[in-house]
Structure 1
Amino acid sequence: MTDQKTADKGFATPPLLSLEEMQHWTWVMGRAQQLMMEHVARQFGEAKPPEPAALAQQLPWMNMFPDPAKLAEQQVALWTEGMTLWQRALGFDGGRSELAEKADRDKRFNAPQWQDNPLFDMIRQSYLLVSERLLGSVDAIEGIDSRQREKLRFLTRSFVDAMAPSNFALTNPMVIERAIETKGESLLKGLENMLRDLSKGQLTHTDPTAFEVGRNIAVTPGKVVKRTPLYELVQYSPTTDEVHETPLIIFPPWINRYYILDLNPKKSFIRWAVEQGLTVFVVSWKSADESLASTTLDDYVVNGQVDAIDTVRDLLGVESVHAIGYCVAGTTLACTLALLAARGEADKVASATFFTAQVDFSEAGDLNLFVADETLQLIEQMSADKGYLDGRYMAATFNMLRGRDLIWNYVANNYLLGEDYPPFDLLHWNGDTTNLPAKWHQAYLRDFYRDNKLVTPGAITVAGVPIDLGKVRTPSYVQAGREDHIAPAHSVWKITDHFSGPVRFVLAGSGHIAGVVNPPEAQKYQYWTNGAKVSSLEEFVAGATETKGSWWPDWIGWIGAQSERKVQAKGARQPGGGKLKALEDAPGSYVRAR
């Protein structure tokens, strides 16, 4: 007979299953086994086994000798807090612990199911306790430098996030509850989701059928007016009678599809810029294939950015353009400006805007952890046959940087709970991967991230010309995201230490994407400006003025001050209306290529 007090605490004996229910659960288990066997059969039937080197790389052992005093302190704290946790679980202390309050605030464990049952309440609090001690123990390790410590801290955090009880069916009360409610069919659906992702080699974040480029994303009207082996040039149709004489050309990252700046009409920076009276061009990079195997920095700067700038200047008959470089394309835009300065052609660019871009990688954040020799060797091995790196590997790397949100959240919801994928345009873009030229990608990681050559005058050459960022005098607008985990704000700030021309630095709320794609009508976040001469981001923030909402109006005001003259939006200002005839409608072919 079950004790009533135990039952009240959530440990009641489950009812016996009927014959019909037992038959159903037998079918569930059999179907699950069939799905897994079918998946294995497909893998062996359709793909050759991966090379051993691509499966695992042995990291060098590090001699880590923890300070005995620190280690003892960690162990005593873990024992003491563990005993306190057990006492509360057994009813000896009815008060709420700080750990329980922290568990309530953790979105992985704030559902009432985690709190109502003492067993699962104990599981979540125990996990958080051990997690804190594991992360804290990293600081007790002696004999390693700061970069090794950061790498170990990242790996420990990744391990801790992976081992969360919310990620396992038998330690997640909501998974158990859903499985009982659906008689196991939620588990089958989740298994189907997981096997589908395993087959395509990529985690799914959103409904794959909800969006289509050119149908409900990337729909700002325009034409492709030029196509090269490396990029397509898209020109957008003006919506105002007059436009600024100096056009705008946007260089998006070649590691992503360009339409992050044209997700939908309400979020589109491109559409908004057109509505402000700018003649807008966007470079749509080609997703790498065998034809781009030999691509280098020279190609992205000379055959990419400089060629596009000269094309627009010639098409519209103007002396200069405004240029935007987003993320890694901002790094190469800095190279382009330095090359033009070295050639005496700096006037080709009237102003340069940098979205979350870095030129000094000395403090580049967690991505610096992926530039060790063994990582570069692995990239070389994975791309040796074709000359390009499958974009899914880069997507997985970025997901790892925010594993709790971009990996384990979806494991719990879509694999364990069997939930439907929500339609979300940003996550669709995030999963729309782009292949990378392997030779150039390795050079970028090695020369920029690992060796930080760009900030040393003459250490980087473009088209045989040594470049120096200190020679860049182009007026620049530098935007950074306060919570950016890919290009940290303090790293983006370093642009101001290297350029010689006037720089307007703006710190935006949110991160690498939402901090950039923040239309004024959304009335979200904020940004900070500071007109005083300061020498660090900390000084900038201390004296900054906060403005609610989007920084886009601040930017267009700055652009207008650089070139005030306007012209009629006719002739070559209309896509296909000049010497470059329209090849096809925007968004073009390269953005659709897989």
Structure 2
Amino acid sequence: MVAMEKSNVMEPRLPTLEEMQQWTQVLGRAQQLMLEQAAGSTGHALPFDPALVARIQTSFADEGLALWQRFLDAGGRLRERPDPAPETSPAAAKDRRFSDPAWTEHPFYDLIRQSYLLLSDYLMKMADAVDGVDPKQKAKLRFATTGLLDAMAPSNFPLTNPQVMRKTIESGGENLLTGLKHMLADMEKGQLTHTDGTKFELGRNIAATPGKVIHETPLYQLIHYAPSTEEVLETPLIIFPPWINRFYILDLSPEKSFVKWAVDQGISVFLVSWKSADASMKDLIWDDYILGGQIDAIDTVRDLLAVESVHTIGYCVAGTTLAATLALLAARGEADKVASATFFTAQVDFSQAGDLSLFVDDEQMKLVDQLSAQGFLDGRYMAATFNLLRGRDLIWNYVVNNYLLGMDYPPFDLLYWNGDTTNLPARWHKDYLTQLYRDNLLVTPGAISVAGTPIDLRAIRTPAYVQAGKEDHIAPLESVWKLTEHFGGPMRFLLAGSGHIAGVVNPPATGKYQYWACEEAQPTLAQFLEKAVETKGSWWPDWRAWLGEIHSRMVPAKGARIPGKGPFKPIEDAPGRYVKSR
């Protein structure tokens, strides 16, 4: 039935004309369904430029015919390599789905690969050819097209993936049996597994920086980390991680931990560990995270160490909240409580918020209501949403590795964190999606009030350090930059290599990536990108130097600077029980 080549790849046959016609009809119908769905969303037929569509279709037909002709010229002899294919695009050449040599060395798989890439290019051009509709509707069509193409990639199916075929033959099908076990286990827990969770333990090999929980509320625990230097900065630092995730993204293994690194730089570090939401938190709103969360933590640390002000860091949504906190403090005449504010990949203006803004229409809000009937949104649904934004890397890559190849899960602390989801309070989560992502109210002066006080970002004069990720798909560079357009104080903008996570968690010891910065503030992002100077490696030392320029005075690391030695007695060891609650 089948023959084997020296490469040990199963020898398939060329499809018949009838089979190719069937696949053409299926793909055409798939495109039509997407267009009909988009038309239904806009309420009218999708307009196309006929001349542009004609050019796209002609190009597709010509390239498809040329592709088939090259293989037909080989006389259908799959053991003989046909004439070399034209140069593929740089993106296609780097596509990790087709990294196995058989995708280019074996004519049949090369044909499948090139056909898929050609079809992908065609469907994306057709999606882009839609004109005269709301930009968000067009973005939805493009997102749906990308999702469809990622799902139908030949690498996702056993019979059209040479690596899976080879593994199946070598193992006698054991890989598929192992993959089935993985899939059934994931179905039972309702979440795709990315790594071996048994290899990690909070407080032992992740979230292990020494410290004490010195303050606790129903919303958060405040961790005070033990100093590792004889002297520390007089002005302490409070880190506000996002409550969408567990805080230890900033305290992974010791060599990756931003918290440990900051402690070793002579900083008194405090960190907020948010409680994963349950039914008791169903009525929480933004005011609770601002007043009962960030301002409460700021006042607690000021009282503990008897200091006038604190440095702050807000990551992602906690950075958005930090901006609101600063605006409220300014409105109250209390801006001096915060000496500086650092924003990790945070947004305040959501007019260019990227693909996440596609999940905030009325239908999505109805779904959020249905999923939050108990008063909180199960974190697995939010994790699935983030995975969809990078479906090729965070979904289909693991479908192939875990289910088709039956590979063992690698121990990877970042992926363990990624799968350690948190629940979100239903009311505030919906307000966040509608008031900020959909309606973009935060940048409208007075449109949002906190405890009855209207807030205005323009009133913020606090020195700010704004970090963005060059490849961030959650908080796009263009969106993070807009933060610089709404604050009125001194500011340093820095662009880090990589994305939303690796762009932030980039310890100096690894020597990875790079960052770009300008010594003088630039009025536009385009001018920043033109004038920014690239520096290899981590941006963390740049941030530490900036922090020292604001307040450089050092004090002995003793008394209340030691966790549990001040007026607040230790409740428990770090990382605390809130981060362990499920």
Given the alignment, which residue of 41, 44, 47 partners 1:65?
47
Q: Is the 8 A contact 2:442 2:448 kept in 1?
A: yes
Is 1:333 matched up with 2:309? no
2:175–2:406 CA contact under 8 A, matched in 1: yes
2:452 to 445, 449, 464: 464
Which residue in the other structure is 1:515 paired with?
Answer: 503
8 Å contact from structure 1 (residues 225, 233) kept in 2 = yes
Determine if the alignment matches structure 1 residue 378 to structure 2 residue 360.
Answer: no
**Contact 1:474–1:501, Cα closer than 8 Å, also in 2:** yes
CA distances 1:119-152 after superposition (whole Å, capped 9, x unpaired): 2111111111101100010122233122211111
Match for 1:76 among 58, 63, 72?
58
Q: Distance in 1 between matches of 2:167 and 2:254?
A: 38
* Unmatched segments (≥5 aa) in structure 2: 14-36, 75-81
- Equivalent position of 2:401 in the other structure: 413
Alpha-carbon distance in structure 2 between the residues aligned to 1:249 and 1:101: 43
Shift of 1:99: 3.9
CA-to-aligned-CA distance 1:505-540 (integer Å, 9 cap, x gap): 111111111111111111111111112342211101
**Runs ≥4 residues deviating over 4 A:** 1-10, 100-104
The C-alpha deviation readout for 1:430-463, integer Å capped at 9, x for no partner, is 0000000011000001011110000000001111
Structure 2 residue identity aligned to 1:453: L
**1:65 shift after superposition:** 3.1
2:257 is aligned, of 264, 268, 274, to: 268
Q: Secondary structure of the residue that 2:580 maps to in structure 1?
A: coil
1:5 CA drift (Å): 12
The alpha-carbon distance between structure 1 residues 311 and 87, as it changes in their structure 2 partners (threshold 3 A), is same
Which residue of 2 is the match for residue 85 of structure 1?
Answer: 67
Q: Partner of 1:494: helix, strand, or coil?
A: helix
Q: Does 1:557 align with 2:538?
A: no
Partners of 2:482 and 2:220 in 1: CA distance = 29
Do the aligned residues in 1 keep the contact of 2:8 with 2:166 (CA within 8 Å)? no
TM, length-normalised to structure 1 = 0.89
Which residue among 426, 445, 448 is the counterpart of 2:436?
Answer: 448
Of 324, 349, 369 in structure 1, the residue corresponding to residue 358 of structure 2 is 369
SS in 1 for 2:41: coil
Which sits farther off after the overlay, 284-293 or 557-566? 557-566
Residue aligned with 2:197, SS: coil
Q: Could you tell me which residue of structure 1 aligns to residue 30 of structure 2? A: none
Question: Paired residue for 2:109?
Answer: 120
Cα 1:578–1:406 shift into 2, 3 Å? same
Is 1:495 paired with 2:495? no
Which residue pairs with 2:575 in the alignment? 587
2:382 matches 1:394: yes
Kept in 2, the 8 Å contact 1:99–1:129? The answer is no
3-state SS in 2 of match to 1:419: coil
Partner Cα separation in structure 2 for residue 4 and residue 11 of structure 1: 6
TM-score (norm 2): 0.91
Amino acid aligned to 1:138: A
Matching residue of 1:150: 139
Q: Does 1:202 align with 2:191?
A: yes
Equivalent of residue 348 in structure 1, options 337, 342, 347: 337
* Kept in 1: contact 2:284–2:427 (CA 8 A): yes
**Mapped partners of 1:381, 1:183: distance in 2:** 45
The equivalences for 1:156-171 within 5 A come to 156-171=145-160
Sequence identity of aligned pairs in percent? 64
Greater CA drift, 72-81 or 455-464: 72-81
Question: Counterpart of 2:522?
Answer: 534
Structure 1 residue identity aligned to 2:211: G
Compute the RMSD of aligned alpha carbons: 2.3
Query: CA–CA distance in 2 between the matches of 1:8 and 1:472?
Result: 65
Aligned to 1:98, the other structure's residue is in SS state coil
- Indicate if the aligned counterparts of 2:53 and 2:129 stay in contact, CA closer than 8 A: yes
Question: Partner of 2:536 in structure 1?
Answer: 548
**Aligned-pair distance for 1:110?**
2.1
Contact 1:224/1:586, CA 8 A, preserved across alignment: yes
Task: Please give the alpha-carbon distance, in whole angstroms, between the structure 1 residues aligned to 2:278 and 2:331.
Answer: 32
In the superposition, relative to structure 1, how do residues 4 and 510 fare at CA in structure 2: closer, same or farther (>3 Å)? closer
Aligned residues of 1:222 and 1:575 also touching (Cα < 8 A): yes
Aligned residues: 551
Residue segments in structure 1 that go unaligned for 5+ positions in a row: 14-55
**2:566 alignment partner, one of 578, 582, 590:** 578
Decide whether the 8 Å contact of 1:289 with 1:437 is kept in 2: yes
